[in-house]
Amino acid sequence: MTWSRRDVIKGLGLVAAAAVLPSACSKSRRVRLAPVHVSRDRVLRTVVGLRPFRPSGFVVRSERLAGQTIVHNYGHGGAGVTLSWGTSQLAVEEVLKSRDTNIAVIGCGAVGLATARLLQQRGLSATIYARELPPNTTSNIAGARWYPFDVFDSAVATPEFLAALWAVSRVSYAVFRRMLGPEYGVFLRPTYACRSEPFARESLLNFDSPIADLLHGLRDMGTDESPFPHYPIVRTFESMMIEPATYLAAIIRDYERAGGSIIQRHFVSAAEFATLSERTIVNCTGLCAATLFGDVEMYPIKGQLTILKPQPEVDYLALPPDLYMFPRKDGIVLGGTFEHHVASLEPDLAAEARIMSAHARFFAQ
C-alpha cells in the first residue's frame, strides 16, 4: 500500500479530530471480539494434569551420586513450559562443569526437551530416557501461555530465588520469541484481564511487576474501548501462546535431526541411574523427582482443562477473575482449577460444570 501526501494530511486531520472530540469517536473505538460459544455439545474433552509445585521454587543444582553427576532441573509448578529454556540453560552450565560429553537426560517433557536441545547446541551428545513421551506428558496438558506464574509461595521463596526466576524467565522468553509462527506453534495474542477489584499487590500484571516489560502494550482500557465493559478494570497486553502439541513435536523433530535418540524407560529409583553408561545425568522428571529423590517439599497442584471445538475467529485470550480462556488450533481451552495436594488424574465433573457455566456467563455478557 502506498500513501499520498493528501492521505497523510487527511489522516492527521482525523487524529486531531479524535483528540478534541473523544465522545464523537467513542463508538468506533470499542474493541469487538468474537464470542466463545460455551455449550455441552461443543466439548471435545476434559483433561487433567498435575503441576509439580515447590513453595521455595524450582530446583537447578548438581550432586554426586554413586560416581555419577546428577544435575536436577525440576519443580516448575504452573510454568514449566514458560521457564523451560531458562532453567535448562542453568542446568547445562552445571553439566559443562563435569566435562563429560555424553549426557543422559531423564524426562521428555518441555524441560527435558529444552535441556537436550541446549546440550546439542553446546556440542554435547544427549540421549533422552523417559517413561512417557509426548503426547502423554504433563507438558502436553499445559495451556500453555508464557507466564511465570504459580511457581513459588511468596511466604517461603528467597530473594535469591526470585532473582533467578526473573532472569530465567527472560532467557526463556527470548528463545520462544525466536520460534514465533506455525512451525513451532508459538503465537502472540491480545489478552484481556478483567477485574471488578484492583489487581492483588503480588500480581504479575501490575505495572511495576518484574516482567511488565515482557507483557507488551500493558495498559488499562478505557470504558469506551473495552470489549468487556461490565468490568471496571480491563487490563490488556500481548501474550505469547505455546501450543504444546505442535511445539513439543517440533522440538523432538529438531532433537532427532541433530542426532538425538529417545529411549523409553521407567526408572523405579534413582539407584537405577547407575545402570546407564552416561556419567552425567540431568533429572527432568517433573513431579516424579519427589519420589526418585525424596524431595518432600514438592507436591502436585491438580489442574483441569475443558477443550471446546476450535473457533478460528477467536484470536484473543480472556482472563476473567479465577478463569482463563486460551484459543488454540486444537480447540478453545477453558481453565481455572488449582487444587493443592490433590494427586488424582480423574476429571472432576463438578469442576467441569462450574468452569463451563462461569465461562458461559462471562461470554454471554
Residues at the interface with ligand FAD (CB under 6 A): 49, 51-52, 74, 76-82, 106-112, 130-132, 137-139, 141-145, 266-267, 284-286, 288, 292, 303, 305, 335
Q: Residue 9 Cβ, how far from ligand FAD at the closest point, in Å?
A: 46
| Strands 233-242 and 280-283, bridge-based pairing | unpaired
Q: Residue 267 Cβ, how far from ligand FAD at the closest point, in Å?
A: 4
Q: Residue 207 Cβ, how far from ligand FAD at the closest point, in Å?
A: 22
Closer to ligand FAD by Cβ: residue 214 or 288 = 288
Grid cell, residue 126, equals: 544427549
Closer to ligand FAD by Cβ: residue 228 or 324 = 324
Which residues are within 8 A (CB) of 9 and not within 5 positions of it... i.e. 6 or more apart?
A: none
- Please give the helix or strand (H or E) that residue 302 lies within, else none: strand 299-308
Residue 150 CB: number of other CB atoms within 10 A?
Answer: 16
Which residues are within 8 A (CB) of 201 and not within 5 positions of it... i.e. 6 or more apart?
A: none
Closer to ligand FAD by Cβ: residue 62 or 138 = 138
Separation CA 351–CA 343 (nearest Å): 15
Q: Residue 357 Cβ, how far from ligand FAD at the closest point, in Å?
A: 19
What angle do the packed helices 22-29 and 5-20 form, to 10 degrees?
A: 110
Closer to ligand FAD by Cβ: residue 111 or 218 = 111
Of 39, 37, 29, nearest to 236 by C-alpha is 29
Which residues are within 8 A (CB) of 190 and not within 5 positions of it... i.e. 6 or more apart?
A: 236, 237, 238, 239, 315, 316, 317
Question: 270-291 burial, b if ≥16 CB within 10 A, otherwise e?
Answer: beebeebebebbbbbbbbbbbe
Separation CA 358–CA 321 (nearest Å): 10
Q: Residue 325 Cβ, how far from ligand FAD at the closest point, in Å?
A: 12
Closer to ligand FAD by Cβ: residue 226 or 283 = 283
Closer to ligand FAD by Cβ: residue 7 or 322 = 322
Q: Residue 301 Cβ, how far from ligand FAD at the closest point, in Å?
A: 7
Q: Residue 16 Cβ, how far from ligand FAD at the closest point, in Å?
A: 43
Closer to ligand FAD by Cβ: residue 184 or 226 = 184
Separation CA 110–CA 216 (nearest Å): 24
Q: Residue 231 Cβ, how far from ligand FAD at the closest point, in Å?
A: 22
Q: Residue 131 Cβ, how far from ligand FAD at the closest point, in Å?
A: 4
Contact between 341 and 302 (Cβ < 8 Å): no
- Which burial class, exposed, middle or buried, applies to 346 when counting CB atoms under 10 A from its CB (0-12, 13-18, 19+)? exposed
Closer to ligand FAD by Cβ: residue 51 or 117 = 51
Grid cell, residue 333, equals: 481451552
What does the H/E/C string look like for 197-211?
A: CCCCCCCCCCCCCCC
Closer to ligand FAD by Cβ: residue 115 or 226 = 115
Closer to ligand FAD by Cβ: residue 82 or 127 = 82
